[in-house]
Amino acid sequence: MSIPPIIRLHAYLDESGQDTLGLLFVVGAVVIDREEREELLEQLEALEMRSRKGRVKWSRARFTYRQNYVSDLANVTRLSGCLFIARYNETKAYNEMTADAAARAIQAKAEGDYRVRVVVDGLTAGEKRRFVRTLRGLNVRPDDVRGAREQSDAFIRLADALCGLVRDAEDKQSWAIQALSRLCRRGLVTDL
């Protein structure tokens, strides 16, 4: 009997909503196979250029560039089952909710034995210990956890875009509601 291979994953997370003082907190997660990382990275960077969104945060991108980005994102079928969003209401436990969303996204993507590297936007060294402790309490044992900056990686920028899209949909922007619904129907985004 052969032993199934160990799945190696990368998980990228960003959050939004601290400005609402806990009213709405959103976490966007991108969980991919390490083997597909370079190819997907090229696709995402090309998508950022085509849409003209570029490497800027969602909140700083022009409205039409955001729409173009999301519209083009719907055609990146290799991301099916890789994008996750989680919404939390009435909580200021931001670090714990980010870890909860990470655990749920990783467990939804992983099949069998896996190893995972987790990259979280803006995670400080002080927050890292608590984050890892929370992840382990949720039965996720990461190989590595790192903090990142939004401009540093297309996957972090994608997680930021997911958060921004959810926030726009929560603000009743009809285009965002339709776009998010379309991404979910196509199996690209899973609402945790």
CATH number of the domain within which 169 lies: 3.30.420.10
The answer to whether 167 and 31 are in contact (CB under 8 A) is no
Domain contains 1: no
Percent of the chain with pLDDT over 70: 98
**Domain span holding position 134:** 7-185
Ranges of H-type helices in the chain: 37-51, 63-73, 94-109, 125-137, 154-170, 174-185
Q: pLDDT category, 150, cuts 50, 70, 90?
A: low
Among 71, 76, 88, 117, which residue's Cα sits nearest to residue 192? 88
The per-residue pLDDT for range 62-115, each reduced to its tens digit, is: 999 999 999 999 999 999 999 999 999 998 899 999 999 999 999 999 988 899
What is the Cα–Cα distance from 170 to 164, expressed in whole angstroms? 10
pLDDT at 2: 67
**Which strands make up the sheet holding 189-191, listed edge to edge?**
144-148, 114-121, 7-16, 24-33, 83-89, 189-191
List, for residues 8-21, the tens digit of each pLDDT value: 999 999 999 888 88
Q: Whole-prediction pTM value? A: 0.94
Return the pLDDT at 135: 96
Q: Quick count: other Cβ atoms within 10 Å of Cβ 20?
A: 14
Confirm whether 2 is domain-assigned. no
Residue 63 belongs to a domain: yes
Q: In this structure, is residue 191 part of a structural domain?
A: no
Asked whether 114 and 89 are in contact (CB, 8 A), the reply is no
The pLDDT score that the predictor gives to residue 112 is 82
Q: Letter for the amino acid at 71?
A: S
Residue 165 has pLDDT above 60, yes or no: yes
Q: Is residue 7 pLDDT above 90, yes or no?
A: no
- Residue 105's CB is within 10 A of a number of other CB atoms, namely 28
Amino acid identity at 98: T
Q: How many structural domains compose the chain?
A: 1
pLDDT at 1 over 60: no
Residue 14 counted as domain residue: yes
Per-residue pLDDT tens over the stretch 34-60 = 999 999 999 999 999 999 999 988 989
DSSP type of residue 52: T
